[in-house]
Protein backbone atom coordinates (compact mmCIF):
# COMPACT_ATOMS: atom_id res chain seq x y z
CA UNK A 1 0.00 0.00 0.00
CA UNK A 2 1.12 3.56 -0.73
CA UNK A 3 0.60 6.07 2.07
CA UNK A 4 0.24 9.70 1.10
CA UNK A 5 0.54 12.16 3.95
CA UNK A 6 -0.28 15.84 3.99
CA UNK A 7 -1.20 18.43 6.61
CA UNK A 8 -4.57 18.80 4.91
CA UNK A 9 -5.98 18.68 1.40
CA UNK A 10 -3.01 19.85 -0.67
CA UNK A 11 -1.50 16.39 -0.97
CA UNK A 12 -4.57 15.33 -2.90
CA UNK A 13 -3.06 17.03 -5.96
CA UNK A 14 -0.17 14.57 -5.57
CA UNK A 15 -2.58 11.68 -5.03
CA UNK A 16 -4.45 12.73 -8.18
CA UNK A 17 -1.26 12.49 -10.24
CA UNK A 18 -0.47 9.09 -8.72
CA UNK A 19 -3.98 7.81 -9.41
CA UNK A 20 -3.68 8.94 -13.03
CA UNK A 21 -0.34 7.14 -13.47
CA UNK A 22 -0.86 4.14 -11.18
CA UNK A 23 -4.58 3.50 -10.68
CA UNK A 24 -3.91 -0.18 -9.81
CA UNK A 25 -2.12 0.44 -6.49
CA UNK A 26 -3.78 0.55 -3.05
CA UNK A 27 -3.66 3.96 -1.42
CA UNK A 28 -4.27 5.41 2.01
CA UNK A 29 -4.36 9.19 2.19
CA UNK A 30 -3.91 10.83 5.59
CA UNK A 31 -4.64 14.55 6.08
CA UNK A 32 -3.69 15.96 9.50
CA UNK A 33 -6.49 18.51 9.36
CA UNK A 34 -6.57 18.80 13.18
CA UNK A 35 -3.18 20.52 13.04
CA UNK A 36 -3.41 22.20 9.65
CA UNK A 37 -2.07 24.42 8.26
CA UNK A 38 1.55 23.43 8.93
CA UNK A 39 2.85 26.55 7.13
CA UNK A 40 2.96 28.90 10.13
CA UNK A 41 4.18 26.25 12.67
CA UNK A 42 7.76 26.08 13.96
CA UNK A 43 10.19 23.45 12.63
CA UNK A 44 10.00 21.49 15.91
CA UNK A 45 6.22 21.37 15.74
CA UNK A 46 6.17 20.33 12.06
CA UNK A 47 8.73 17.61 12.76
CA UNK A 48 6.85 16.23 15.78
CA UNK A 49 3.54 16.20 13.92
CA UNK A 50 5.01 14.66 10.76
CA UNK A 51 6.72 11.85 12.66
CA UNK A 52 3.50 11.03 14.54
CA UNK A 53 1.54 10.83 11.29
CA UNK A 54 4.21 8.75 9.56
CA UNK A 55 4.26 6.35 12.53
CA UNK A 56 0.55 5.86 11.94
CA UNK A 57 1.06 5.06 8.23
CA UNK A 58 3.93 2.68 9.05
CA UNK A 59 1.60 0.80 11.41
CA UNK A 60 -0.88 0.55 8.53
CA UNK A 61 1.82 -1.44 6.66
CA UNK A 62 2.57 1.10 3.94
CA UNK A 63 5.63 0.00 1.94
CA UNK A 64 5.98 3.46 0.40
CA UNK A 65 5.11 6.74 2.09
CA UNK A 66 4.98 10.03 0.21
CA UNK A 67 5.22 13.17 2.32
CA UNK A 68 3.03 15.17 -0.06
CA UNK A 69 3.36 18.44 1.80
CA UNK A 70 6.11 20.90 1.02
CA UNK A 71 6.28 22.21 4.59
CA UNK A 72 6.63 18.70 6.05
CA UNK A 73 9.07 17.70 3.28
CA UNK A 74 11.18 20.77 3.99
CA UNK A 75 11.20 20.53 7.78
CA UNK A 76 10.75 16.88 8.69
CA UNK A 77 11.55 14.50 5.80
CA UNK A 78 15.16 13.94 6.83
CA UNK A 79 14.14 13.13 10.42
CA UNK A 80 11.56 10.62 9.18
CA UNK A 81 14.02 8.98 6.78
CA UNK A 82 16.64 8.74 9.53
CA UNK A 83 14.11 7.16 11.90
CA UNK A 84 12.92 4.46 9.47
CA UNK A 85 16.12 3.92 7.48
CA UNK A 86 14.40 2.83 4.26
CA UNK A 87 11.83 0.52 5.90
CA UNK A 88 9.47 1.72 4.59
CA UNK A 89 10.67 4.00 1.81
CA UNK A 90 9.76 7.62 2.60
CA UNK A 91 9.91 10.23 -0.16
CA UNK A 92 9.11 13.94 -0.29
CA UNK A 93 7.98 16.40 -2.93
CA UNK A 94 10.79 18.91 -2.72
CA UNK A 95 13.71 17.16 -4.42
CA UNK A 96 11.65 16.01 -7.42
CA UNK A 97 10.45 19.59 -7.95
CA UNK A 98 13.99 20.95 -7.81
CA UNK A 99 15.30 18.25 -10.17
CA UNK A 100 12.51 18.93 -12.63
CA UNK A 101 13.12 22.70 -12.45
CA UNK A 102 16.83 22.23 -13.06
CA UNK A 103 16.06 20.04 -16.08
CA UNK A 104 13.63 22.57 -17.53
CA UNK A 105 15.35 25.90 -16.83
CA UNK A 106 16.97 27.62 -19.78
CA UNK A 107 19.01 30.30 -18.01
CA UNK A 108 19.19 28.97 -14.45
CA UNK A 109 16.84 31.68 -13.19
CA UNK A 110 14.59 29.63 -10.96
CA UNK A 111 11.94 31.02 -8.65
CA UNK A 112 10.03 29.29 -5.87
CA UNK A 113 6.76 30.21 -4.17
CA UNK A 114 5.61 28.47 -1.00
CA UNK A 115 4.13 28.82 2.47
CA UNK A 116 5.99 30.71 5.20
CA UNK A 117 7.22 27.42 6.69
CA UNK A 118 8.69 26.20 3.40
CA UNK A 119 10.41 29.50 2.64
CA UNK A 120 11.68 30.00 6.21
CA UNK A 121 13.18 26.50 6.18
CA UNK A 122 15.40 27.48 3.21
CA UNK A 123 15.04 23.89 2.05
CA UNK A 124 14.49 24.89 -1.59
CA UNK A 125 17.44 27.27 -1.44
CA UNK A 126 19.70 24.51 -0.13
CA UNK A 127 18.48 21.99 -2.69
CA UNK A 128 18.81 24.45 -5.56
CA UNK A 129 22.34 25.32 -4.50
CA UNK A 130 23.27 21.67 -4.19
CA UNK A 131 21.84 20.50 -7.51
CA UNK A 132 22.54 23.81 -9.22
CA UNK A 133 26.20 22.87 -9.35
CA UNK A 134 25.39 19.66 -11.16
CA UNK A 135 22.92 21.01 -13.64
CA UNK A 136 23.96 24.60 -14.43
CA UNK A 137 27.64 24.74 -13.54
CA UNK A 138 28.53 27.50 -15.98
CA UNK A 139 25.86 29.98 -15.01
CA UNK A 140 27.27 32.18 -12.26
CA UNK A 141 24.50 34.75 -12.57
CA UNK A 142 21.87 32.16 -11.74
CA UNK A 143 19.36 33.67 -9.35
CA UNK A 144 17.01 31.85 -7.06
CA UNK A 145 14.21 34.15 -6.01
CA UNK A 146 12.23 32.73 -3.14
CA UNK A 147 8.94 34.16 -1.97
CA UNK A 148 6.52 33.25 0.83
CA UNK A 149 2.85 33.42 -0.13
CA UNK A 150 0.94 32.56 3.06
CA UNK A 151 -2.45 33.76 1.78
CA UNK A 152 -2.75 31.46 -1.23
CA UNK A 153 -3.75 28.35 0.75
CA UNK A 154 -6.62 30.07 2.60
CA UNK A 155 -7.80 31.71 -0.65
CA UNK A 156 -7.83 28.33 -2.42
CA UNK A 157 -9.59 26.59 0.46
CA UNK A 158 -12.20 29.38 0.44
CA UNK A 159 -12.91 28.56 -3.21
CA UNK A 160 -11.74 32.00 -4.43
CA UNK A 161 -9.51 30.57 -7.18
CA UNK A 162 -11.02 32.86 -9.83
CA UNK A 163 -11.71 35.86 -7.59
CA UNK A 164 -10.23 39.26 -8.54
CA UNK A 165 -8.86 39.61 -4.98
CA UNK A 166 -6.88 36.40 -5.46
CA UNK A 167 -5.54 37.73 -8.76
CA UNK A 168 -4.51 40.97 -7.01
CA UNK A 169 -2.73 39.16 -4.19
CA UNK A 170 -1.05 36.79 -6.66
CA UNK A 171 0.20 39.73 -8.72
CA UNK A 172 1.64 41.25 -5.55
CA UNK A 173 3.39 38.04 -4.58
CA UNK A 174 4.71 37.36 -8.08
CA UNK A 175 5.90 40.88 -8.96
CA UNK A 176 9.49 40.46 -7.64
CA UNK A 177 9.79 37.10 -9.39
CA UNK A 178 8.63 38.64 -12.66
CA UNK A 179 11.08 41.53 -12.22
CA UNK A 180 13.88 39.03 -11.61
CA UNK A 181 13.13 37.52 -15.03
CA UNK A 182 12.93 34.00 -13.73
CA UNK A 183 12.38 31.45 -16.49
CA UNK A 184 11.15 28.63 -14.25
CA UNK A 185 8.85 28.85 -11.23
CA UNK A 186 8.47 26.00 -8.75
CA UNK A 187 5.00 25.84 -7.19
CA UNK A 188 6.39 24.84 -3.80
CA UNK A 189 3.05 24.01 -2.21
CA UNK A 190 0.73 21.21 -3.23
CA UNK A 191 -2.24 23.58 -3.15
CA UNK A 192 -0.88 25.82 -5.86
CA UNK A 193 -1.66 23.69 -8.95
CA UNK A 194 -5.24 24.93 -8.44
CA UNK A 195 -3.96 28.45 -9.27
CA UNK A 196 -1.71 27.28 -12.11
CA UNK A 197 -3.68 28.99 -14.92
CA UNK A 198 -3.69 32.38 -13.21
CA UNK A 199 -0.02 32.10 -12.21
CA UNK A 200 0.88 31.21 -15.81
CA UNK A 201 -1.08 34.23 -17.08
CA UNK A 202 0.76 36.58 -14.70
CA UNK A 203 4.23 35.13 -15.26
CA UNK A 204 3.86 35.06 -19.05
CA UNK A 205 4.92 32.50 -21.63
CA UNK A 206 8.66 32.89 -21.00
CA UNK A 207 8.32 31.31 -17.56
CA UNK A 208 7.64 27.61 -17.10
CA UNK A 209 5.77 26.35 -14.04
CA UNK A 210 6.90 23.27 -12.15
CA UNK A 211 4.20 21.65 -10.03
CA UNK A 212 5.75 19.88 -7.06
CA UNK A 213 2.74 17.53 -7.15
CA UNK A 214 3.31 16.49 -10.76
CA UNK A 215 7.09 16.36 -10.35
CA UNK A 216 6.72 14.01 -7.37
CA UNK A 217 4.49 11.63 -9.34
CA UNK A 218 6.79 11.79 -12.38
CA UNK A 219 9.90 11.12 -10.30
CA UNK A 220 8.48 7.93 -8.88
CA UNK A 221 8.67 6.30 -12.32
CA UNK A 222 12.46 6.34 -12.37
CA UNK A 223 12.47 5.47 -8.67
CA UNK A 224 10.50 2.29 -9.42
CA UNK A 225 12.88 1.47 -12.28
CA UNK A 226 15.79 1.66 -9.87
CA UNK A 227 13.89 -0.25 -7.14
CA UNK A 228 11.88 -3.04 -8.85
CA UNK A 229 11.65 -4.90 -5.49
CA UNK A 230 9.58 -2.02 -4.06
CA UNK A 231 7.32 -2.02 -7.10
CA UNK A 232 6.70 -5.76 -6.64
CA UNK A 233 5.89 -5.43 -2.92
CA UNK A 234 3.14 -2.83 -3.42
CA UNK A 235 -0.38 -4.27 -3.23
CA UNK A 236 -2.51 -3.69 -6.32
CA UNK A 237 -6.22 -4.01 -5.68
CA UNK A 238 -7.13 -0.43 -6.57
CA UNK A 239 -8.24 0.34 -2.99
CA UNK A 240 -8.44 3.94 -1.78
CA UNK A 241 -8.87 5.09 1.79
CA UNK A 242 -9.13 8.73 2.87
CA UNK A 243 -8.39 9.52 6.51
CA UNK A 244 -8.40 12.81 8.38
CA UNK A 245 -7.63 13.77 11.98
CA UNK A 246 -10.53 16.26 12.10
CA UNK A 247 -13.92 17.02 10.54
CA UNK A 248 -14.47 14.43 7.75
CA UNK A 249 -17.40 16.43 6.27
CA UNK A 250 -15.20 19.44 5.51
CA UNK A 251 -12.50 17.12 4.20
CA UNK A 252 -14.94 15.35 1.87
CA UNK A 253 -16.26 18.66 0.56
CA UNK A 254 -12.95 20.44 -0.14
CA UNK A 255 -11.05 17.23 -0.92
CA UNK A 256 -13.66 16.32 -3.52
CA UNK A 257 -12.87 19.58 -5.34
CA UNK A 258 -9.14 18.79 -5.34
CA UNK A 259 -9.65 15.28 -6.73
CA UNK A 260 -12.54 16.13 -8.98
CA UNK A 261 -14.61 13.25 -7.57
CA UNK A 262 -16.75 12.46 -4.51
CA UNK A 263 -14.85 10.71 -1.73
CA UNK A 264 -15.73 8.93 1.51
CA UNK A 265 -13.65 10.18 4.44
CA UNK A 266 -13.05 8.60 7.85
CA UNK A 267 -11.84 10.36 10.99
CA UNK A 268 -8.90 8.83 12.90
CA UNK A 269 -7.31 9.67 16.25
CA UNK A 270 -3.53 9.96 16.04
Site string for a copy of itself, 208-247 (x = CB under 8 A): --------------------------------------xx
Contact criterion met (CB below 8 Å) for 96 and 218: yes
Rounded CA-CA distance 169/195 in Å is 12
Residue 182 in the binding site for a copy of itself (CB under 8 A): no
Instruction: Tell me whether residue 190 or residue 208 sits nearer to a copy of itself (CB atom).
Output: 190
69 is known as an active-site residue? yes
Identified binder of a copy of itself from the candidate list 103, 106, 139, 165, rule CB under 8 A: 165
Residue 129 in the binding site for a copy of itself (CB under 8 A): no
Instruction: Tell me whether residue 129 or residue 168 sits nearer to a copy of itself (CB atom).
Output: 168
Identified binder of a copy of itself from the candidate list 161, 169, 234, 263, rule CB under 8 A: 169
- Please choose, from the candidates 47, 30, 214, the residue with its C-alpha nearest in 3D space to the C-alpha of residue 123: 47
Site string for a copy of itself, 26-45 (x = CB under 8 A): -------xxxx---xxx--x
Does 37 sit behind a cis peptide bond, omega within 30 degrees of 0 on the bond before it?
A: yes
- Please choose, from the candidates 130, 66, 65, the residue with its C-alpha nearest in 3D space to the C-alpha of residue 102: 130
Site string for a copy of itself, 145-164 (x = CB under 8 A): -----xx--xx-xx-x--xx
List of E strands, 201-263: 208-211, 240-244
What region does 260 belong to: left with phi over 0, alpha with psi -120 to 50, or beta?
Answer: left
Coil vs helix vs strand at 210: strand
CA angle 178, 200, 115 (to 5 degrees): 70
Which residues bind to a copy of itself, rule: CB under 8 A?
Answer: 33-36, 40-42, 45, 150-151, 154-155, 157-158, 160, 163-166, 168-169, 172, 246-247, 250
Amino acid sequence: MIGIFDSGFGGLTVMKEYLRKYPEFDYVYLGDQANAPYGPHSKERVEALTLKNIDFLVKKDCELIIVACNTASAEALRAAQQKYKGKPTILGVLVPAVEEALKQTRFGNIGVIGTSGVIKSKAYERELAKYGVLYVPSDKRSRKEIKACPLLVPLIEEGLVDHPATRMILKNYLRPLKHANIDTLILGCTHYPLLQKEIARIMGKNCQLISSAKAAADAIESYFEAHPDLLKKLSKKGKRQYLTTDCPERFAEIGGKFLGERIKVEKVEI
